[in-house]
Amino acid sequence: MNKKVLFISGLLLLNGCSTIVDNQYQIAPTGEAVTQIEKAKQLPLEMDKEIKVAVTTQTQVLDIHSIDSPGVIFELPMVKNGLDINIEAEINDSVFVPSAKVINQSGDIRAELDDRGLVYLKPRLADGNRLQGNIKVHPQIGDSALYLVIFTDKDKLDETVAVSHPAKLDAEGRGNYFPEVGDIQVPRALTGTFSIEAAALGARTSDQSIVLPALSATERPQQESVTFYHQAIRAAIADNDVDKAMGLLRDAEQLGITDADQVFRDAMKAQLDKQ
């Protein structure tokens, strides 16, 4: 797979590095909102190539199909068996939470993705906190062109995205006791960076990494975390350290371990029965 990364819209790289910007992926400011896809700046989406996009204050603003935000439009290749498109947004001091629509030449919507379809990915190797979404589309009879429109929901800019506290990540990686710290709330924004990659349906290998819901009140816990909290709560109560057990219970509930309360109750009952 070609992993060349193309940077769009004058993306400033971290650590002061620079890169060659492919001219065909430049997004020029228009000065006013674009109301028709055919009049918007469209970018060709090449198969099996990761493209990194920076949505900036100079990115074109879209006012089409109930979209009202800076947005990027990709012209999709017409693949008979369909496309499997992966989108990942970087979470930094703020995050451009991506939504997407696939629209044909007549304005018919063929596929959609909103923030309910996104998952939160914890930092891994060189990648930081991310939101990931996937959209699949099959060309239908009569489709002569398909366009992927990526934008964000302006009505939700007052909302935040929860990411794991670094102290928790460190403790989880070391297998230590999880500190009683809450998740960090990152504000949504009209600008940010995301990457996109398209493959033929069925060609992409399944990702074995565990992903968590990004925009829900709680995260889906990993099994290691469930086991850790169950054992730690029981051990704390066995040592008659109820305050520690309560702290562990609060942390477990924040991580979405729904049966932690029952574990706490059962352990308390067992401890009382011994007395």
Tell me the pLDDT band of 157, cut-offs 50, 70 and 90: very high
Domain contains 218:
no
Q: Which two tokens stand for residue 72?
A: 């990027």
Pair (66, 112) in one structural domain: yes
C-alpha span between 158 and 146 (Å, rounded):
32
The set of residues, in sequence order, having a beta carbon less than 8 Å from that of 157 and lying 6+ positions away, is: 187, 188, 189, 190
Tell me the pLDDT tens digit for each residue of 93-129: 999 999 999 999 999 999 999 999 999 998 877 788 9
If one counts the domains in the chain, the total is: 2
Pair (150, 204) in one structural domain: yes
Pair (62, 182) in one structural domain: yes
Mean pLDDT for the stretch of residues 203-223: 47
Judged by average pLDDT, the poorest of 66-70, 98-102, 174-178 is 174-178
C-alpha span between 57 and 60 (Å, rounded):
8
Q: How far, CA to CA in Å, does 64 sit from each of 18, 37, 53, 61, 67? A: 34, 8, 21, 10, 5
Pair (85, 181) in one structural domain: yes
Pair (133, 202) in one structural domain: yes
Pair (207, 120) in one structural domain: yes
Pair (241, 261) in one structural domain: yes
Residue predicted with more confidence, 211 or 65: 65
What was the pLDDT predicted at 101? 95
CA torsion sign, 19 to 21 to 25 to 26? positive
- DSSP, res 248: H
3-state secondary structure 210-229: CCEECCCCCCCCCHHHHHHH
Pair (92, 195) in one structural domain: yes
- pLDDT above 90: percentage of residues in the chain: 33
Tell me the pLDDT band of 19, cut-offs 50, 70 and 90: very low
Q: Identify the domain boundary among 213, 244, 262.
A: 213
C-alpha span between 234 and 215 (Å, rounded):
31
Q: Identify the domain boundary among 187, 213, 239.
A: 213
Residue predicted with more confidence, 37 or 84: 84
Residue predicted with more confidence, 42 or 97: 97
pLDDT at 8 over 50: no
Tell me the pLDDT band of 149, cut-offs 50, 70 and 90: very high
pLDDT at 17 over 50: no
Catalogue the E-assigned strands of 114-218: 119-121, 130-137, 146-151, 160-163, 184-187, 192-200, 212-213
Pair (163, 118) in one structural domain: yes
C-alpha span between 227 and 248 (Å, rounded):
12
Residue predicted with more confidence, 30 or 271: 271
pLDDT at 163 over 80: yes
Domain contains 195:
yes
Mean pLDDT across the chain: 79
Q: Where are the alpha helices (H) located in the chain, listed in sequence order?
A: 166-174, 223-238, 242-254, 260-274
Can you give the residue range of the structural domain that contains 256? 223-274
What was the pLDDT predicted at 219? 43
